[in-house]
Structure 1
Amino acid sequence: MPDDVLDALRAAVDAGTAGTAGADLVRPAGPGDAVAGVAPRYVATPGSPAEASALLRVAAARDLAVTVTGGGGKQDWGDPPRRLDLLLHTGRLTGVVEHAAGDLIVVVRAGTPLAELQAKLAPAGQQLALDAPLPPGAAATVGGVVATNTSGPRRMRYGTVRDLLIGVTMVRPDGTVARAGGKVVKNVAGYDLGKLLTGAYGTLGLVTECAFRLHPLPVARAFLRRRAGDAAEAGRLTAAVLAAQVAPSALEVDATPGGGVEVAVLLEGTPRGVGERADATRRLLGNAAVSDEPPEWWPAYPWRKGGVGLKLTAALSGVPALLAAATEADRRHGVPLAVRGSAGTGVLYGGLPATAPPDAVAAIVADLRAATAAVGGHTVVLTAPGPVRDRVDLWGPVGGFELMRRVKAQFDPDARFAPGRFVGGI
């Protein structure tokens, strides 16, 4: 049966591929294309900003709801889209556009796997200093990292995606191609556009290229590990490291149900400098184990696929209290709660099993929201099974919602881009 929408989408891609590939690059959706349980009608794989622009002009004209996917490892984060007609896959938007090694700058397409980018930068002795925790087997893409603002343990030293992103090319929901920032760290023209897109869960448009500032690869590194008996002792150990002049790249804690808390420190630099700081840190921690390799849990999230994933934030001084609150919530509600993350930045993650009763999860989330609010932070449910989503507000109280809503209306007045995925149904 003829499908004029499919034909129009294919014609948009044909215009940029000499009329040879539209049928391959735009197709009816299949069983594996659902986003958070919502199935699209069509899947398109643009290979350039121009192709993406043409596709989105068709989508605007046909009132198609659009969601973007890359590696797919975090498609179950956030709320399901209210509707979904066209799934844009970034699998052809890959590769390094420019690597200015002398300026420590790279311009890279959004569909590029982060691991592939790191491999291309390594021969020049450089890195994009981002860690991207993901479920086993998933591959983080540059665009996905920007969309979810993913930053792992080393955010303590190098900062987050917002700190490293200096330029962006995007296609707006109406098909307009927009660029902001540049390839110079001090170039701030339009820089806030990159900050708006970072962590917006793809609700403002399609990111096609990103410019990042880079850092040299460290010559040496050392991991120090010390198990603490409880949250209070872990707090004393992390406070000692923070107060000392050992310049850690990361300071992590891992609290397993009934297993106490492990403190881990990452030091990077020259062999001599790392050795001296490792000796000092070992004395601070009290004969910690030293290794060239990270703990087995580094930097993975503390939940399994299908489980409940939480993001918990706190002021640095409140991390021990938050760890203690997690232990108490575990005990009170009888559901094992694992907590892991950065004691050096106050960003922790919690994990609950997929089998946890929704009412118990809701009670734990309420307890943790009270605990994080008391130490200047928030609790967000990143991912959860359907019955838990039905019972819990994933985002909770969020400041600045009205401003977010106005920004969404400016970028996407018809609410067609990932509708409902973000805070408050944005």
Structure 2
Amino acid sequence: MLKNKKVLLCVTGGIAVFKAAALTSKLFQEGAEVKVMMTESAQQFVTPLTFQTLARNAVYVDTFEEKDPEKIAHIDLADWADVILIAPATANIIGKVANGIADDMISTTILAATAPVLIAPAMNVHMYQHPAVVKNMRTVASFGYQFIEPGEGLLACGYVGKGRLAEPEEIIAGLHAFFTPKEQLFKNKRMLVTAGPTVEAVDPVRYFTNRSSGKMGYAIAETAAALGAEVTLISGPTSLLTPSNVTPIHVTSAQEMYEQVIRAYSHQDVVIKAAAVADYRPKHYSNDKVKKKPDGWSIELERTKDILAELGKQKQQQILVGFAAESTNIEEYALQKLEKKNLDLIVANSIVQEGAGFKSDTNIVTILHRNGKKKELPLLTKQEVAFEILKEVHSCLKENKQR
């Protein structure tokens, strides 16, 4: 799939540079033509000679070093690339790109580029969560640049958390997805996607929530937009960036999500409810922090509004898709939910199976149709699962049109 594709790999400084060397080798093995550009700090970790050997191409490190007097290197490279991949992308380069700073060869080339840009961040978990970095990533995403999410785990600094550069295989998969021809299956269609958890407050300090990361819903929203849909993403609190060409609505509680979904529902062709919405919330909220007591503490809970059931009652022409995340009797419970809530499709998955469930970058699901059709999927990335779900949604739209 990457054969003869022109990939400009921009390598910025961090211990994850060693993964960029492995990535260069894999890109070459896939048949891509790779040219590498390095910052001065990246050269402190791995030498340009390593990348030159792996890419079989000259490595670019200095804006003022013109290898060909007939060309301005950074402009020529910007025009040459089919895709520009920044991996690893430090907080520094993301900040430069977000603010239009051009003080080295990579940042200058990015400003001159019209090619698509993919960014694979790598940094300390606290840096990744810093408001300035989050703001910069959102700004960069608004330019239409796409992110390959970092992984979670033990970082070189000793912390455990999100910020580890995606593995070379994951970055290659991201490039495959980028170059896969995407038919505009949902052109002129409006789609509403919900994602993430909700947060139900007990007092100004405490709250109830769940383990949902929002990754599945965000993957669906991103893929649907790539397939031509006009996507609205209603999301509970997550650390994820809003995908390109997606309209975000951020909410906190189940009630807020209910209000926003109902408000938007009548204008939609498809609704995919991937959010993990709280079934219960504290019946009474304390405006003051509840003080610690010597004995136990009982909190009375009340039911939240069942958003999916309400959508099923109000459904007219919409295709309505739900999720059933279960630990036992998965298909049985999913079919009951499909019928009870008047759904067209339900996506069932185990929350205890390895490689599936909350926070994982992969999933194992079964897609069940109202007409009895069933599609079982193996372990796939959540982006791949999103595409498979959307193919089934498209088949439902076609059936509706034929009626």
TM-score tier by shorter-chain length is under 0.3
Larger RCO: Structure 1 or Structure 2 (Cα < 8 Å, ≥ 6 residues apart)?
Answer: 1
| Bigger Rg over Cα | 2
What is the TM-score with the length of structure 1 in the denominator? Answer: 0.27
